[in-house]
Structure 1
Amino acid sequence: MAPTARIPSVPAPGDALGRRERARGALLGLAVGDALGAPAENMKPSEIRARWGRITGYVAERPAGTDDTEYAIFSGLLLARHGSALTPAHVEAAWHEWIADRAEGPFRGAGFSERGTLENLRRGLAAPVSAQHRHAWSDGLAMRAAPYGVFAAGRPDEAARLAAVDGSVSHDGEGIYGGQAVAAGVAAAMAGAPVVAVVASALAVVPDDSWTARSLRRAVTAAHLGERAVRAAVVIGGYPWTDLAPEAVALAFGAYAAADGDFEQAVLTAVNMGRDADTTAAVAGALAGATRGAAAIPPAWSSAITPARGTCLPAMAGHHVLDIADLLTPETPA
């Protein structure tokens, strides 16, 4: 394993940002990144430039989060219900209650990993067998892992453990490592860790010789050279699927590192690199939002985020990410 950064369990002395402000930044940042990146999903940078020039804000008429935001809400509600006692059985039951045993939205469960998981659950398969499908390496866990970092603020190992419990129903191997890296990174950022320690915390919870770790190291090493260098260091050229967890997670951390934690720059860097742009921007937004807080998100972007529409998961309709952030960070009585 990579060396573990020592992350304080509470914000450092003199840190003006409290836990709730960071939690709101993380989950609102995720939703903003998701909405900004959605129109550019599966596109190449050249295609983005040809259509919009450089994306500097919302390009959709009605910006909204996609499955990334709705699955993150799903994970947040799971945590609010079970906390650190979360088990694979709890996760599996929630998949049945909120998705598999009811009508789906027009996205029909969204990504390939989610579709494979739902098909297996409906056939009566349980975790971890439910995760045995062709896309267990996808970024479907990474996109919903930020709430675990919010909940386990300052405890990257615990955030990674909880993300793996969630992922056992739908992912395996690199798919779980990607989710663990995101959860641990957000947990470190939630405690006021600097960017370098956030990255170190993510690397510390995944195998050092994993594809995820190798990609993440390449991305952050290239970060000072800008988004083209990050993309060149990570993207699997010629591969048709853009939801590879090692690629998407590395692009997100690379964007975050290139921006030195600045929210606007981190998210726009992720968006303009294309590929699985809604997920990479959502993860970069969660990391930068936890680092800088909700106030760092441009008001024109944050005000566009409304309660989830249930486009992918009807059961999540009406839940706002800020409400989930507050659920996961109950205020301590004075």
Structure 2
Amino acid sequence: MSGGAGAVWGRGEQQDFRSRVRGTLLGVALGDALGAPVDPLTTAAIREAHGREGLTELAPAYGRRGAVTHHTQLTLFTVDGLIRAQVRRDTGAWHPPTDLHRAYLRWAATQRDWGPDERRKDDGWLAREEWLYARREPVRTLLLGLGDDTMGTPSAPKNPGEAGPEAAARSAPFGLLVGWEPQLVVQLAVECAAQTHGHPVAYVAAGAYAVIVHTLARGETLDTAVQRALALLASRPGHQPVSDALQRALGAVRQGMPTPERVTELVGNATADGVLAAAVYCALVGEDVRQGLCLAVNHDGPSAVAGALTGGLLGALHGETALPPGWLADLEGRPTVLELADDFAMEMTQGAALHGPAGASPAWLARYPRGGA
């Protein structure tokens, strides 16, 4: 698949890309929503609540079926930040981690404020979506990392001891930069993960997840995508726990029928490497999206984040039409997810026509302002 600045996209390529973008973002949200009601439960408790097969359909959380958590919220703000980075490039200011940090600070405001602040004209349209102003149990690490304007970096990260999977869970959109070289996708995901999660396990896992999505979005298989991630990680300091976890996921595929116990074993102590391994495993062994997502949430580990990671992989691999339509119908915020996905696809394929030397679309710059924090 072609891509990147100045690339010419055929109509078929554009349609395929848009389907994969939609599939990735909707997949993250569906997996997140499926896992949310059972997030703190063990396998035994899930079966007690939902029957012998465990959870097989969307169930109520936060007062409704299909409710998403902070994993989806932050994924959407990642997309918003990536579009804003492209738009700001016209000004000569090209530092995507800064634009992503600004986007994450806009998310942090949704966790503090009652609703959108109309005085903040530079916030853009996503920060004015009222449904996003809901606290869905964000981990303290996120709130601390984004609690002030100082941006963490890999050399001076926020929360240096934090190895959780939350940074990886917002990193699927980096993989949708299909015109970028894979190593640059890894580096951007790593730099943005360090803004909240400073342990190498957390930010290397985010980079690995992003480049797996990147390879899938370019039309390759999941096995190829994991092998590419392993090759790219090999020269990166601190990669070993993540590389070992991905190898365990590949090995588990050959160990017979998938079970919740095997997923629980891969998750381990629920750090980013183990949850990523479980997501890769569930995406590899699931016969379809529904089965893969159900496997990803029925275990002793954190169900919402495992579901979100798995959903992003399956959506990038299969595209939008493979997702269960009945689940999509109940998904919280689906119109917003689709609108943002289509904006991202349009920016990446036709951005030069929306803003550039030849002129700019006022409507586009109102949605994605060039300035502001």
TM over 0.5: yes
The count of residues paired between Structure 1 and Structure 2 equals: 305
How far, CA to CA, are the matches of 2:228 and 2:261 in structure 1?
23
Q: Which of 140, 146, 154 is 2:166 aligned to? A: 140
- Give 1:91-110 correspondences, 5 Å limit: 91-99=100-108, 103-104=112-113, 107=135, 110=138
Distance 1:126 1:58, change over 3 A: closer
Shift of residue 145 of structure 1?
Answer: 0.4
Match of 1:194 in 2: 221
Q: Which of 211, 218, 221 is 2:248 aligned to? A: 218
In 1, are the aligned partners of 2:146 and 2:195 still within 8 Å (CA)? no
Match of 2:365 in 1: none
Partner SS state of residue 301, structure 1? helix
How far, CA to CA, are the matches of 1:56 and 1:253 in structure 2?
19
Shift of residue 16 of structure 1?
Answer: 11
* 1:169-208 CA-partner distances (Å, limit 9, x unpaired): 1122111111111111111111111121122133233347
Match of 1:4 in 2: none
Taking structure 1 as the reference length, the TM-score comes to 0.81
Matched, 1:32 2:59: no
Matched, 1:52 2:85: no
How far, CA to CA, are the matches of 1:15 and 1:169 in structure 2?
34
Partner SS state of residue 146, structure 2? helix
AA partner of residue 59 (structure 2): V
Q: Which of 17, 37, 44 is 1:19 aligned to? A: 17
How far, CA to CA, are the matches of 1:56 and 1:102 in structure 2?
30
AA partner of residue 99 (structure 2): H
Taking structure 2 as the reference length, the TM-score comes to 0.73
Comparing 165-174 with 292-301, greater Cα deviation is found at 165-174
AA partner of residue 271 (structure 1): V
Shift of residue 165 of structure 1?
Answer: 2.6
Distance 1:191 1:96, change over 3 A: closer
Partner SS state of residue 46, structure 2? helix
Distance 1:247 1:112, change over 3 A: farther
How far, CA to CA, are the matches of 2:23 and 2:290 in structure 1?
12
Partner SS state of residue 131, structure 1? coil
How far, CA to CA, are the matches of 1:81 and 1:73 in structure 2?
12
Gaps of 5+ in 2: 4-8, 114-132, 354-373
AA partner of residue 78 (structure 1): G
Shift of residue 17 of structure 1?
Answer: 7.0
Matched, 1:114 2:142: yes
In 1, are the aligned partners of 2:189 and 2:206 still within 8 Å (CA)? yes
Gaps of 5+ in 1: 1-7, 309-318
Match of 2:230 in 1: 203
AA partner of residue 74 (structure 1): F
Distance 1:328 1:273, change over 3 A: same
In 1, are the aligned partners of 2:191 and 2:203 still within 8 Å (CA)? no
How far, CA to CA, are the matches of 2:224 and 2:15 in structure 1?
17
Q: Which of 236, 245, 262 is 1:230 aligned to? A: 262
Matched, 1:247 2:274: yes
Match of 1:73 in 2: 76
AA partner of residue 327 (structure 2): W
Shift of residue 155 of structure 1?
Answer: 4.3
Q: Which of 310, 319, 331 is 1:305 aligned to? A: 331
In 2, are the aligned partners of 1:150 and 1:325 still within 8 Å (CA)? no
Match of 2:359 in 1: none
In 1, are the aligned partners of 2:279 and 2:306 still within 8 Å (CA)? yes
Distance 1:77 1:17, change over 3 A: closer
Match of 1:322 in 2: 338
Match of 1:295 in 2: 321
How far, CA to CA, are the matches of 1:231 and 1:98 in structure 2?
31
Shift of residue 132 of structure 1?
Answer: 3.3
Distance 1:273 1:153, change over 3 A: farther
In 2, are the aligned partners of 1:117 and 1:130 still within 8 Å (CA)? no
Partner SS state of residue 211, structure 1? helix
How far, CA to CA, are the matches of 1:218 and 1:17 in structure 2?
35
Shift of residue 110 of structure 1?
Answer: 0.8
Match of 1:313 in 2: none
Distance 1:231 1:142, change over 3 A: same
| Bigger-Rg structure (1/2) | 2
Distance 1:323 1:161, change over 3 A: farther
Match of 1:259 in 2: 286
* 1:285-320 CA-partner distances (Å, limit 9, x unpaired): 111111111111111011112327xxxxxxxxxx72
AA partner of residue 298 (structure 2): N
Shift of residue 115 of structure 1?
Answer: 2.3
In 2, are the aligned partners of 1:117 and 1:169 still within 8 Å (CA)? yes
